[in-house]
């Protein structure tokens, strides 16, 4: 379960953690991805696992478009930039939820039969639910890919440089908007991947994103802003803490453990575990 | 400069008095219960947002966890009332004091945090509060508390036949929050807060005790929000954790101030006066469909206003030379 949070958080780690843009609509991106995956299944009988690349590609376009149409202008604000970003993306989240309710109705939906749903696999005598296992593997791959992308490619370096100093970046001929639009697209594609995998074993409804989004923010902040590895570590910590809390406290309180650990960590290390900004 | 400032403050006070007088007279002309309801909510959110603005606007410590204090105010009042028969008036005071103390207790570790780490910490602490109340059997857990009807009276702050007393209390609350802000703006605290917001290091070097001034702002802000929570509980006469401590409350409190003009005296009032009637009307007009049209309209409005007027609606009224200079 922890790596699943990690999977949701990895896209956010890029947008929120590396580019330092607040995105309160991250959960809604997840929701859209889950619906996409659901409809691909319902109409074309494509298993969520197969449709994952499609969903990710669609979300890439969606994320980039949202950036170019809306977020770009929110970042241009000279005053209260933080608040403008918070409330623009929050408004966006409300619109997306409303649209989902309008077009998809508030009903709970699920994908009844998929390759992953409800199956378990036995490795050396330990039974693991398949969806979580696949989620974990994809999550690790996504983190590794993002890490390499940020640290090994020019584009990754451009993203970090743009956050640090947009003015200087413009001087060396990098178009800030192109870099950030690409970053948003990539972040959305990653959450698209997460949504497609989760669609095979979670209920899908317009508000589904909200319950995961906060945990994703906590995961990114716990790991520390500006660090891909931090978000990965944050995901693992969150998963472990949740599992441990579930053993000692009633299930409805399991998130309390995560929140408490976040507070504890930032009180000791005010920049998260591996944060640099 | 100083003369200007003093004149502006006198003018603000006069405008406020006139507005309050007009507001106090509106119930004479507005008899429609739906409209009265909207007016009450508008005044309440104006007051809440004004209180939020003290910590987040003036002092610059963006809190998205003020629902915690709102909920604590509501719960303290109602637990004292239903379990011990303490009158809501005392409960209100108790709720305010409890919230202010908790705000200071939390401020101790929280104010070391900066930026996103601080904002997320405030969200998280309110969420912890929400979950704890959700599981606290004695306080009604997820079922919440239904406030028993003990008859119409100012003493018990319950009114069955008319909404007018609630209206006047909300007006008083709003005026109180405004007046406290007005008063603090020109006090030592007000100047400290703005210094802390703009540049904490510089403020510290000039002898501002940054930590204490943040604590002061947190306590005042939490106290007023908790009083608002008590009022809300009496007004709707039913509370459960989601309805008084949910994350959306934290945002709803911040929204009028942000839309109106964060860190300004009139921003929250202006923001609430526009936003709350709009919210209620869209809900009234489109909400019945159950298909989220009200959400679409509401969300679009928020996006448009935040994008078009990053410094809030109030910036429309300020003179151009100010617009250029401030950052």
- Put simply, the answer to whether B258 touches A80 (Cβ < 8 Å) is yes
**CB-closest option in A94, A99, A100 to B298:** A94
Tell me how far CA of residue B183 lies from CA of A198, B12, B13, B104, B179, in angstroms.
53, 11, 10, 21, 6
pLDDT at position B321 over 50: no
**Is the complex ipTM more than 0.90?**
no
- Put simply, the answer to whether B292 touches A102 (Cβ < 8 Å) is yes
Residue B232 contacts residue B70 (beta carbons within 8 Å) = yes
Instruction: Read off the pLDDT band of B327 (50, 70, 90).
Output: very low
Chain A residues with CB under 8 Å of B125 CB are 259, 263
CA distance A130 to A136: 10
Instruction: Read off the pLDDT band of B305 (50, 70, 90).
Output: confident
Give the Cα-Cα-Cα angle A76, A82, A86 (nearest 5 degrees). Answer: 100
pLDDT at site B326: 40
CA distance B144 to B138: 10
Closest CA to B293 of B303, B277, B282: B282
The tens digit of pLDDT for each residue in B26-40 reads: 777 777 777 888 888
Chain B residues with CB under 8 Å of A99 CB are 292, 296
Residue A272 contacts residue A265 (beta carbons within 8 Å) = yes
Report the pLDDT averaged over residues B127-137: 81
Tell me how far CA of residue A147 lies from CA of A14, A136, A191, A231, in angstroms.
10, 16, 16, 11
| Tokens 């997840």 belong to residue | A30
The ranges of chain A with pLDDT < 50 are none
Smallest CA–CA distance, residue A74 to chain B, in Å, is: 6
Smallest CA–CA distance, residue B123 to chain A, in Å, is: 9
Chain A residues 83-122 with a CB less than 8 Å from chain B: 83-84, 86-88, 90-102, 105-106
Kind and range of the H or E run holding A122: strand A120-123
Q: Does A246 touch chain B (CB under 8 A)?
A: no
pLDDT at position B323 over 50: no
Closest CA to B69 of B35, B43, B40, B104: B104
Instruction: Read off the pLDDT band of B320 (50, 70, 90).
Output: very low
Q: Which residues of B61-72 are buried (b: 16+ CB within 10 A; e: fewer)?
A: bbbbbbbbbbbb
**CB-closest option in A78, A98, A100 to B293:** A98
| Tokens 């809604």 belong to residue | A28
Chain B residues with CB under 8 Å of A96 CB are 299
Q: What is the mean pLDDT of chain B?
A: 78
The tens digit of pLDDT for each residue in B150-194 reads: 666 666 666 666 777 777 888 888 888 888 888 887 777 777 777
Nearest CA in chain A to B287: A98
Nearest CA in chain A to B305: A88
CA distance B75 to B81: 10
Smallest CA–CA distance, residue B288 to chain A, in Å, is: 12
C-alpha dihedral, A181 to A187 to A189 to A191, nearest 10°:
-150
Backbone angles phi, psi at A122, to 5 degrees: -110, 120
Chain A residues with CB under 8 Å of B117 CB are 221, 225, 266, 270-272
**CB-closest option in B121, B296, B306 to A88:** B306
The tens digit of pLDDT for each residue in B84-97 reads: 777 777 778 888 88
The tens digit of pLDDT for each residue in B213-264 reads: 788 888 888 888 888 888 888 887 778 887 788 888 888 888 888 888 777 8
Q: What domains can be seen in chain B, in order of their start residue?
A: 2-317 (1.10.3470)
Percent of chain B exceeding pLDDT 90 equals: 0
**Model pTM above 0.90:** no
Instruction: Read off the pLDDT band of B277 (50, 70, 90).
Output: confident
pLDDT at site B152: 65
pLDDT at site B324: 39
């Amino acid at each position: 379960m922890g790596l699943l949070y990690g999977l949701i958080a990895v896209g956010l780690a890029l947008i929120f953690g590396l580019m330092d843009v607040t995105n309160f609509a991250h959960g809604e991106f997840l929701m859209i991805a889950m619906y996409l995956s659901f409809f691909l299944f319902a109409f074309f009988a494509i298993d969520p696992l197969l449709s994952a690349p499609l969903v990710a590609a669609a979300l890439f376009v969606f994320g980039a478009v949202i950036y170019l149409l809306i977020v770009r202008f929110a970042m241009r604000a000279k005053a209260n930039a933080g608040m403008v970003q918070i409330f623009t993306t929050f408004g966006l989240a409300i619109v997306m939820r409303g649209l989902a309710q309008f077009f998809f109705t508030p009903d709970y939906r699920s994908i009844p039969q998929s390759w992953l749903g409800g199956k378990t696999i036995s490795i050396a005598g330990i039974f693991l639910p398949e969806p979580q296992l696949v989620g974990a593997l994809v999550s690790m791959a996504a983190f590794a890919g993002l890490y390499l992308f940020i640290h090994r490619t020019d584009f990754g370096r451009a993203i970090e440089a743009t956050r640090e100093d947009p003015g200087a970046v413009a001087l060396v001929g990098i178009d800030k908007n192109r870099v950030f639009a690409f970053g948003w697209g990539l972040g959305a594609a990653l959450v698209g991947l997460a949504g497609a995998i989760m669609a095979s074993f979670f209920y899908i409804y317009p508000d589904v994103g909200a319950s995961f989004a906060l945990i994703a923010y906590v995961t990114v902040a716990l790991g520390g802003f500006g660090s891909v590895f931090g978000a990965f570590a944050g995901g693992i910590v969150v998963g472990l803490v949740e599992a441990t809390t579930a053993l000692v406290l009633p299930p409805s309180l399991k998130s309390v453990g995560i929140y408490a650990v976040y507070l504890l960590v930032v009180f000791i290390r005010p920049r998260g575990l591996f944060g640099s900004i | 400069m100083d003369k200007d400032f003093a004149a502006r403050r006198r003018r603000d006070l006069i405008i406020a008095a006139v507005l309050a007088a007009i507001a106090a007279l509106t119930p004479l002309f507005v008899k429609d219960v739906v409209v009265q309801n909207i007016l009450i909510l508008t005044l309440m959110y104006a007051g809440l947002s004004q209180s939020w603005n003290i910590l987040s606007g003036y002092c610059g410590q963006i809190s998205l966890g003020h629902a915690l204090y709102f909920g604590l105010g509501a719960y303290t009042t109602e637990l004292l009332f239903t379990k011990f028969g303490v009158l809501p008036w005392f409960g209100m005071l108790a709720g305010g004091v409890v919230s202010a103390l908790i705000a200071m207790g939390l401020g101790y570790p929280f104010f070391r945090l900066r930026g996103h780490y601080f904002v997320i910490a405030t969200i998280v602490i309110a969420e912890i509060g929400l979950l704890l109340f959700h599981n606290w059997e004695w306080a009604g857990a997820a079922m919440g508390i239904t406030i028993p009807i003990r008859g119409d009276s100012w003493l018990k702050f319950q009114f069955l036949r008319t909404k007018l007393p609630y209206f006047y209390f909300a007006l008083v609350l709003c005026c109180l929050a405004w007046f406290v802000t007005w008063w603090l703006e020109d006090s030592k605290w007000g100047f400290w807060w703005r210094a802390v917001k703009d540049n904490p290091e510089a403020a510290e070097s000039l002898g501002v005790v940054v930590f204490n001034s943040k604590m002061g702002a947190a306590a005042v802000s939490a106290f007023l929000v908790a009083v608002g929570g008590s009022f809300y509980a009496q007004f709707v006469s039913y509370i459960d954790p989601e309805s008084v401590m949910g994350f959306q409350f934290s945002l709803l409190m911040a929204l009028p101030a942000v839309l109106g003009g964060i860190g300004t005296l009139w921003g929250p009032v202006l923001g609430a006066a526009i936003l709350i009637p709009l919210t209620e009307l869209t809900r009234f007009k489109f909400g019945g469909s159950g298909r989220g049209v009200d959400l679409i309209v509401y969300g679009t409005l928020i996006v448009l206003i935040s994008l078009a007027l990053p410094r809030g609606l109030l910036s429309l009224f300020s003179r151009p030379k100010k617009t250029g200079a401030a950052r």
